[in-house]
């Protein structure tokens, strides 16, 4: 129970509104330089300036809450989310209300975290980021392994030790914090770095065990999307066996621990030797079987007399010649049968051409008989005027200028001296 402070303002003192508001602001800020409040978020608003304004409330009261731009926020703020806010209590004189300016914010309780993770999981699953069809096979013997984790953490040491024990490979570390507000961005940047540089064959994202709140960066959307978009096969080795982060669903393979990730990425030298021995036994057995079969076939060969062998081959050539003669005769008969209609068509075409030629000669004869030239040849003539129009009557006719005979035109204007 907090003690009530003694009043220091005398009853007869008179303040201006501004002085009273500033006095109250100083009293509140002096009394509450740091305060932690637990409640539920509501009315979340992000201003164009980048500041976030909201309300934190419980069943009995509500307090205005401000998060200034640049303040680390390790998770997505949503209405109804229960949180614990650390900050200082102050007042805003322009509206005569008190408010909390937050410097830290964290989720309150495992239940709230699990609810948030489940909702985010369903959202990302609906986008197809966890589909089995997206999973890529891991390389059998990678030459270079990229590790995204803290360089000072036990996870990196465990991975290096287990790799040395099993099958030493070249390890490239991308240092990243694995806890706190910047962890998610650094882990995502590590995945994107290896994909951009193409300098490793497989990626391990690792972190040792811890509380659910400590493992939250590996369930942030930026990390899950980076893992799902990785073109290089990715192994997730976060926490311990019971711990499931959202990166586990997006990774190509989920290892229960960082050590398990190292065991997954490379085989042991002993298992490789055993695989080689098994392969040698299989190859030698297969070769021995083929050798026995070949020996049996050689033993079954009956060596024949050379003269008999030549005669048999000559007989085969005779058989082939007779077969080819029958085939060629059959093919020629088939071609002749196909050509017969073509010969008939040629005859029909010649008959048609003869008929067309006779018809053309007949038309030529008719044209000659109907031509006015034949009439002129019988002693007639055509009289034309100056416009070359035929004069067919004497009455009212214009003066003739030329007369056409069968053998040419007689120009009357020349005779009369007219041009």
For the segment 225-258, what is each residue's pLDDT rounded down to a tens digit?
999 999 999 999 998 877 788 999 999 999 999 9
User: For residue range 19-45, what is the model confidence (pLDDT) as tens digits?
Assistant: 777 777 777 777 778 889 988 889 999
Contact 167, 272 (CB under 8 A): yes
CATH of 144-266, one of 3.40.50.2020, 3.40.47.10, 3.40.50.261, 3.10.450.50: 3.40.50.261
- Kindly state the DSSP code that residue 59 receives in the 8-state scheme: S
**Token pair for residue 127?**
């986008």
Contact 44, 54 (CB under 8 A): yes
Percent of the chain with pLDDT over 90: 30
CA distance 117 to 17: 48
Looking at residue 149, its pLDDT comes to 95
Phi-psi region of 180 (alpha: psi -120 to 50; beta: other; left: phi over 0): left
Fold of the domain spanning 17-108: OB fold (Dihydrolipoamide Acetyltransferase, E2P) (2.40.50)
β-bridge mates for residue 202, sequence order: 145
Q: Single out the residue of 206, 218, 142 nearest to residue 173, CA to CA.
A: 206
CA distance 101 to 65: 6
411 φ, ψ to 5°? -90, 110
- Report the chain's C-alpha Rg in angstroms: 53
CA distance 188 to 60: 41
Residue ranges of alpha helices (H) inside 204-305 are 221-229, 246-250, 258-265, 269-299
Phi-psi region of 35 (alpha: psi -120 to 50; beta: other; left: phi over 0): beta
Reported pTM: 0.48
Say which residue the tokens 């304004």 belong to.
53
Of 414 and 304, more confident: 414
CA distance 401 to 413: 6
19 φ, ψ to 5°? -65, -40
User: For residue range 172-222, what is the model confidence (pLDDT) as tens digits?
Assistant: 999 999 988 899 999 999 999 999 999 999 999 999 888 777 888 999 999
Contact 40, 77 (CB under 8 A): no
């Amino acid at each position: 129970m907090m003690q009530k402070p003694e009043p220091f303002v005398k009853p007869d003192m008179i303040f201006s509104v501004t002085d009273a508001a500033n006095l109250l602001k100083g009293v509140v800020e002096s009394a509450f330089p740091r305060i932690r409040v637990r409640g539920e978020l509501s009315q979340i608003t992000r201003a164009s300036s980048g500041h976030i304004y909201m309300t934190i409330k419980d069943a009995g009261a509500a307090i205005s809450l401000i998060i200034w731009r640049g303040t680390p926020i390790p998770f997505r703020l949503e209405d109804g989310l229960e949180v614990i806010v650390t900050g200082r209590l102050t007042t805003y004189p322009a509206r005569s209300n008190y408010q909390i300016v937050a410097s830290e914010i964290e989720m309150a309780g495992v239940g709230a975290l699990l609810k948030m993770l489940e909702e985010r999981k369903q959202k990302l699953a609906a986008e197809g980021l966890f589909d089995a069809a997206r999973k890529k096979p891991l390389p059998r013997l990678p030459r270079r392994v990229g590790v995204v984790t803290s360089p000072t953490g036990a996870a990196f040491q465990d991975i290096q030790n287990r790799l040395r024990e099993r099958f030493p490979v070249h390890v490239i570390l991308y240092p990243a914090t694995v806890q706190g507000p910047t962890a998610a961005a650094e882990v995502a940047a590590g995945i994107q770095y290896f994909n951009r540089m193409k300098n490793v064959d497989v990626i391990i994202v690792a972190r040792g065990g811890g509380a659910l709140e400590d493992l939250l960066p590996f369930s942030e959307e930026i990390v899950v999307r980076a893992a799902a978009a990785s073109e290089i096969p990715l192994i997730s080795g976060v926490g311990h066996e019971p711990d499931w982060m959202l990166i586990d669903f997006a990774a190509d393979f989920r290892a229960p621990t960082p050590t398990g990730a190292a065991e997954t990425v490379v085989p042991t030298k002993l298992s490789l030797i055993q695989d080689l021995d098994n392969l040698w036994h299989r190859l030698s057995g297969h070769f021995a079987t083929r050798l026995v079969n070949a020996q049996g076939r050689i033993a079954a060969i009956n060596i024949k007399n050379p003269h008999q062998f030549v005669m048999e081959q000559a007989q085969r050539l005779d058989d082939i010649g007779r077969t080819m003669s029958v085939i060629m005769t059959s093919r020629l008969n088939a071609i002749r049968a196909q050509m017969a209609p073509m010969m008939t068509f040629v005859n029909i075409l010649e008959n048609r051409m003869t008929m067309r030629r006779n018809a053309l000669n007949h038309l030529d004869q008719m044209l000659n008989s109907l031509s006015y030239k034949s009439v002129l040849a019988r002693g007639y003539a055509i009289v034309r005027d100056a416009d070359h129009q035929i004069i067919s009557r004497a009455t009212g006719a214009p003066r003739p200028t030329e007369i056409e005979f069968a053998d040419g035109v007689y120009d009357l204007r020349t005779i009369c001296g007219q041009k």
